[in-house]
Structure 1
Amino acid sequence: MDMQSELVGRVMGWLDQAAQMALGWLTSPAAWSQFALLVVAYLAARLIAGRLSRTLTRIVTPAAEKAGMIAGLRRFSLRFLPLMLPLIAYGLTALGEAFTRSMFGSGDVIAFGKRLFIFIAARLLVQEVLTDGFLRLLGKYVLIPVAGLYALGVLDDIVLRLEEAQIVLGNIQFSVMALIRGVIAGALLFWMGTWSNRQSADYIKSQKELRPATRELAVKATEILIFGAAFLLLMSIMGIDLTAIAVLGGALGVGIGLGLQQIAANFISGIILLVEGQTTVGDYVELDGGEKGTIVKMTARACVLETFDGKWIVVPNEHFITTRVINYSDAGSANRYEAEFSVSYDTDINRIPDIIEAAVAALPFVLQKPDGPDCELAGFGESSVDFVVEYWVNGIDDGKNKYRSPVLFAIWNALKAEGIEMPFPQRVVHLKTQND
């Protein structure tokens, strides 16, 4: 209750002070002369801004067919033209204030007008220039109220009161003003960091001459650098002693050594994977544990595999370092597969290789390099002679690429066309009677 009463009393004092000031301005000839200077400054600023705006628009506007970074920056700069009028008016009133104070020793009215132009510029910035939702929200609830308090001349008093109010958390001490400043700066720095990280990541990923692993490593390093710098800058803005952060870092190091060993191991393993480049985004891999799929994402902690049935498998990076990994490379590499089949013992098996190799080679996806189809005798079974045909294809025989099935169809059709029987298991049973 005492704090509320003190706040209400202070606000009433400000209102009374403002009323007395306004009454003094209305009855003072010097104030009326300053009002006249304000009007002249505004009209002059309007004239200058109008002509300058037309000239700058003609010079800065790029041709409609122009594209690229420079053209984008030129179009972006045109969005700030609405700020020209209040800023020019602010400069002219600043000159008028210096003149009136030097000549008459007073300039409160024109100083108020100068601050009012800053408030108008802040409103135009939020309403007409800013398009990002977060920045407009920050401008609406932070920039405009601060500009309003500055225009009324009470901003310095409020800032002083907030600086005097202290918050103590153990060895860390900071003012309420530092906390407010830190929250605002933290939000702005986080937005700037996110935007910068997104822009830098897009730029790095567009460099096709770099290996995918190198691009991923550069993206991660840039992300750590950007947000690390933002964190240190935020601590400095809030006035927090960085030695306390050093103590916290030491405690964190102990925590990593005792309880976060797996996380640290996965993080280091992720860096090793990105540096070596033996596995990267787009590779089809099979792990010792049976997991297999295409790597679609590599993070600091794990790799994400996408199976051909659409499932995502999150595999810790450590598994790629400490266990056996089969890397089939990307979908465009050549891989060899086999297809088994059998023929009856009545077949002239010397004809089989030529028939099958020709049938399999006729398939459009079968490669002739590094080697064409190769049909080999695999063995003699109980009911059949067993063969295997080896063939090379581009990609992985799974998911959308079903190579084995067309190969088996080709083998079946080729054998049927030559009248060659594919046997099934048979048994010969002899029955003996007592008369035998």
Structure 2
Amino acid sequence: MNFDLASQPQFVQTAAGYALQGWDVAKGWLLSPAAWSQFGLLVAAFLAAWLLTRRLGPWLTRVLTPPEDARSLLATLRRFVLVFVALLLPLLAFGFTAIGEQATRAMFGSGAVIAFGKRVFLFLAARILVREIITDGFLKLLGRFILIPVMALYALGLLDVATARLNEMTVALGNIEFTLMAVIRGLIAGSILFWLGRWSNDQTGGYIQRQQEMPPATRQLATKAAELTIYGIAFILLMNIVGIPLTSLAVIGGAVGVGIGFGLQQIASNYISGVILLLEGQATVGDYVELDNGLAGTIVQTTARAMILETFDGRWIVVPNEDFITTRVINYSDQGSSNRYEVPFRVSYDTDINQIPKIIEAAVATHPDVLSDPFPPDCELRAFGDSGVEFAVEFWVNGLDDGRNRYTSDVGFLIWNALKDNGIQIPYPQRVVHMKQAEA
């Protein structure tokens, strides 16, 4: 087959050259007895793997499937291995083909066809891995657009050619030049490393948060320290893989230091303030706090830069960590601490006020959330007002009087009912007007 391709573009000539080489290889295989023997071995290996998979697959599935409620380390390991049963057919075919390749090379001195079959079985294994086993979206994306194309090139015997071409092509970044292969390798390695970093960070953070004997602030600090360590190691490994010397990071570190000194002061201040808050434990997740500027809410999340407060009306407020250090903060500490509230009321001047404290204190003490420790309900005389005698009852509760808790409202109802039951009148506002008649 002779074609005059001199007038065609270079890539057409190159593609035609590869096509002619493939045709020559295929023609050689079709006309070679050794090749037909290898084709026969490939078919036999596949059939043997298929028959063995039909026997082993259900048995392995039964053995590896743990009880549904099992949560031990062994059960987790069994579930992990179970998902790879889908690879049994291509891997067994690959193993049988490898045995056949040794026999073929010993008999005919050639094993190109059966070696091609081995690579095809590996390609099929990679395809099953991406389509049926990997569930993470990011890893599935890497498998679909990187692993499968690479395995396809390997199966066709073009991986070395493609690698050599990528090593010849360079990408310039200022005064630094990288080969295209180095860039691709860095992107792939970086993606995998930082996915592993995210996964290990989630696992480490979950393990630390389950250690209930540690104070919440210590758990938060340990989680952030583990996160920085994991991503720092991933970054250093990536620099080594790409080939960037770590000594060059000193220059980058100096530039970052200058940036922090001039443009990133606020970010650095918030980050350091966050570390101080975690170390001192003055405000942690679950605490109800009120800042000097009037912002108030429950801390639902802490980050390196800020704390997130949730108000009782469902709004989230992002408060920089520095505000917790440089301003006054009232921490009501909703996690089991006691808070005191009071409800004012007044009675008529016709009332025997000596009976009021006993009646009101007994009524308020019946509320299930009112505490007797540190102090029981305390009814105090506050003033002799214009319209009546003014009292207030103080009481202690665990929690905050807002949201789902309505302590002052409940106590107000108790006061009303107690006064009504004892015939005590709550006066209306009154004014006494004296009219003086003018003399004739």
| The two structures share one fold, judged by TM-score above 0.5 | yes
Distance (Å, rounded) in 2 between the aligned partners of 1:124 and 1:363: 64
Gap change, CA 1:27 and 1:340, over 3 Å in 2: same
Distance (Å, rounded) in 1 between the aligned partners of 2:370 and 2:285: 26
Distance (Å, rounded) in 1 between the aligned partners of 2:67 and 2:436: 103
Judge conservation of contact 1:174–1:238 (CA < 8 Å) in 2: no
Distance (Å, rounded) in 2 between the aligned partners of 1:34 and 1:103: 11
Distance (Å, rounded) in 2 between the aligned partners of 1:58 and 1:376: 74
Alignment partner, residue 3 of structure 2: none
Distance (Å, rounded) in 1 between the aligned partners of 2:164 and 2:375: 82
Alignment partner, residue 262 of structure 2: 258
Alignment partner, residue 25 of structure 1: 29
Q: Report the 3-state secondary structure (helix = DSSP H, G, I; strand = E; otherwise coil) of the residue aligned with 1:290.
A: coil
Alignment partner, residue 250 of structure 2: 246
Please report how far the alpha carbon of residue 48 of structure 1 lies from its aligned counterpart in structure 2 after TM superposition.
5.1
Q: Report the 3-state secondary structure (helix = DSSP H, G, I; strand = E; otherwise coil) of the residue aligned with 2:313.
A: coil
Please report how far the alpha carbon of residue 45 of structure 1 lies from its aligned counterpart in structure 2 after TM superposition.
4.1
Q: Report the 3-state secondary structure (helix = DSSP H, G, I; strand = E; otherwise coil) of the residue aligned with 1:79.
A: helix
Judge conservation of contact 1:172–1:240 (CA < 8 Å) in 2: no
Judge conservation of contact 1:294–1:307 (CA < 8 Å) in 2: yes
Q: Report the 3-state secondary structure (helix = DSSP H, G, I; strand = E; otherwise coil) of the residue aligned with 2:9.
A: helix
**Structure-to-structure mapping, 1:35-434, within 5 angstroms:** 35-46=39-50, 49-50=53-54, 52-53=56-57, 56-63=60-67, 66-101=70-105, 104-434=108-438
Gap change, CA 1:256 and 1:25, over 3 Å in 2: same
Q: Report the 3-state secondary structure (helix = DSSP H, G, I; strand = E; otherwise coil) of the residue aligned with 1:358.
A: helix
Q: Select between 321-330 and 345-354 the one with higher mean Cα deviation.
A: 345-354
* TM-score for both structures, normalised by structure 2: 0.89
Distance (Å, rounded) in 1 between the aligned partners of 2:359 and 2:393: 11
* TM-score for both structures, normalised by structure 1: 0.90
Q: Select between 265-274 and 116-125 the one with higher mean Cα deviation.
A: 116-125
Gap change, CA 1:406 and 1:42, over 3 Å in 2: closer
Judge conservation of contact 2:334–2:398 (CA < 8 Å) in 1: no
Distance (Å, rounded) in 1 between the aligned partners of 2:66 and 2:432: 91
Q: Select between 221-230 and 88-97 the one with higher mean Cα deviation.
A: 88-97
Please report how far the alpha carbon of residue 432 of structure 1 lies from its aligned counterpart in structure 2 after TM superposition.
3.6
Gap change, CA 1:63 and 1:418, over 3 Å in 2: closer
Q: Report the 3-state secondary structure (helix = DSSP H, G, I; strand = E; otherwise coil) of the residue aligned with 1:367.
A: coil
Question: Per-residue CA shift, 1:119-138, capped at 9, x if unaligned?
Answer: 12212222332233333332
Gap change, CA 1:221 and 1:214, over 3 Å in 2: same
Q: Select between 18-27 and 209-218 the one with higher mean Cα deviation.
A: 209-218
1:326 alignment partner AA: I
Please report how far the alpha carbon of residue 429 of structure 1 lies from its aligned counterpart in structure 2 after TM superposition.
3.6
Q: Select between 247-256 and 30-39 the one with higher mean Cα deviation.
A: 30-39
Question: Per-residue CA shift, 1:78-109, capped at 9, x if unaligned?
Answer: 22123233223333433444454456543322
Gap change, CA 1:176 and 1:309, over 3 Å in 2: same
Distance (Å, rounded) in 2 between the aligned partners of 1:56 and 1:434: 114
Q: Report the 3-state secondary structure (helix = DSSP H, G, I; strand = E; otherwise coil) of the residue aligned with 1:370.
A: coil
1:6 aligns with 2:10: yes
Please report how far the alpha carbon of residue 426 of structure 1 lies from its aligned counterpart in structure 2 after TM superposition.
3.7
Judge conservation of contact 1:284–1:293 (CA < 8 Å) in 2: yes
Judge conservation of contact 1:172–1:244 (CA < 8 Å) in 2: no
Please report how far the alpha carbon of residue 153 of structure 1 lies from its aligned counterpart in structure 2 after TM superposition.
0.8
Q: Report the 3-state secondary structure (helix = DSSP H, G, I; strand = E; otherwise coil) of the residue aligned with 1:168.
A: strand
Distance (Å, rounded) in 1 between the aligned partners of 2:132 and 2:414: 69
Please give the root-mean-square deviation of Cα atoms over the aligned residues, in Å. Answer: 2.6
Q: Select between 340-349 and 315-324 the one with higher mean Cα deviation.
A: 340-349
Number of residue pairs aligned between Structure 1 and Structure 2: 434
Gap change, CA 1:359 and 1:48, over 3 Å in 2: closer
Gap change, CA 1:409 and 1:88, over 3 Å in 2: closer
Please report how far the alpha carbon of residue 176 of structure 1 lies from its aligned counterpart in structure 2 after TM superposition.
0.8
Please report how far the alpha carbon of residue 180 of structure 1 lies from its aligned counterpart in structure 2 after TM superposition.
1.7
Distance (Å, rounded) in 2 between the aligned partners of 1:345 and 1:428: 14
Judge conservation of contact 1:344–1:423 (CA < 8 Å) in 2: yes
Distance (Å, rounded) in 1 between the aligned partners of 2:323 and 2:134: 47
Please report how far the alpha carbon of residue 258 of structure 1 lies from its aligned counterpart in structure 2 after TM superposition.
1.0
2:392 alignment partner AA: V
Distance (Å, rounded) in 2 between the aligned partners of 1:57 and 1:399: 51
